[in-house]
Every structure is written in C-alpha cells, then in structure tokens.
Amino acid sequence: MGSVSKTGVIPTPESGNLYTLTFKYSKTPNGYLGITVQVDQDGEIHEDPFIFSPQPTIKGDGFDINSVIGFNTDDISFAVSSVQALSGISIKANDETIQVLSDGALLPEAAAKGISYTKTDDNSGKLSLGGTFFSTFAGGIHEVEFTMTDVAQAEGTGKARIATPGLTDLAVYDLWLNTANFQVIVTDPALTNVKVRYRERE
C-alpha cells in the first residue's frame, strides 16, 4: 500500500486567524491520515504590554441618561460600573460638590442629603437620588454632574438633566406693559389641571 503526502506553507501567519488544512483521501479500511506541523523557532518574538484600564461609567437605571428625566416622588437611580474596583463618587449640582463614596463606602454626609448607594460588587452598584436631595432645587431643568474614580485612579464622568416641578424664573416680561409669561415644570403625569396663582406685592 503506497502513501500520499501533501505539503502546504503559510509564509506569514498572522495572529487572530484560523488556518484550515483540507485533505481529501479514499476511505480504505487500513488507511490513516497523519499531519505533521513544523514550526520555525528562529523567528523574532515581540512582546508588547497592553494595559486595559477604561474609565468608570454611569448610565440611567431604566432610562436614557442623555434625555431629560423628571423627578416626581420616586428616587432617580443610576447604574455605575467599572473594570477596576470603584473607589470614589462625587456629585456636583446647584454649585455644590458632594462626596458620595470614599474608599468604596457611602459617606454619612451624602446619606443625610438624600443620596444612597447600593453596592452590587466592588466594581458596580446603584446610585440613587431621593426627595431630600431635590428639596433644594427650584422648579426647572437642572444639570447634575457625576465623577467616578477607581482604585487605579482612572476617572470617569457623566451628566444628567433632571427636571424638578415648580414655577421657573420669569424668562419673558415687559415692565412697561405690565406683562409677564409664567412657565411651570410638571413631572407628575397624573396632574391634568395646573394653575398659576399670583398676587400683587404690596
């Protein structure tokens, strides 16, 4: 019984590719298929270190963080995640910066301001803003900024636009004609009849 050989050469193999050798043969009872792979060990080896360290991220929990979200009575929550363990979170709103998380733990000062953090694991958790946090907000649309850091000191940021109910500042008025346009932010979908009452200041 004779033998059949087939030789193939891949001159410049590239990493990340799958190379397949196809060999057709006759199915004889006593036959077999043998494959020999020869590797050139004299090739030059390059080692390039690659550090993968993306910044922590934040997104809306059940809503698009890029859209305006209205605060009514329920907490507004955000999902925070990181490849490295989270170390700190701070919030900036109404020209005030509040340190929420330090060394992975919720600070009492943040909890007193209506901010909570529910830890999923060292790398992720849920950040919630409650009624106490929004109690100092006037009616209108406010920008809330978030800054997250991990144990490797990588920093990620995010922003949310949150609408709080109430009368906004007068944007259009005419003192000569004694006219003014009032605007109200309503975040409760159950309200259908909203009225603005005003009185002349004595």
Task: Supply the pLDDT for residue 71.
Answer: 86
Per the DSSP assignment, residues forming a β-bridge with 179 are: 174
How many CA atoms lie less than 13 Å away from 191 in the CB half-sphere?
11
Report how far residue 200's alpha carbon sits from residue 132's, in angstroms, rounded to the nearest whole number.
32
| Average pLDDT for 123-135 | 94
Task: Supply the pLDDT for residue 190.
Answer: 65
pLDDT in tens, 159-179: 999 988 766 666 666 667 777
**Burial of 174 by CB count in 10 Å (0-12 exposed, 13-18 middle, 19+ buried)?**
exposed
How many CA atoms lie less than 13 Å away from 202 in the CB half-sphere?
0
- pTM comes to 0.63
pLDDT in tens, 68-126: 898 888 899 999 999 889 999 999 998 899 999 999 899 999 999 999 999 999 999 99
Nearest to 77 by CA among 89, 85, 69, 86: 69
**Burial of 173 by CB count in 10 Å (0-12 exposed, 13-18 middle, 19+ buried)?**
exposed
Spell out the domains of the chain, with CATH numbers in brackets.
59-164 (2.60.40.10)
Task: Supply the pLDDT for residue 97.
Answer: 95
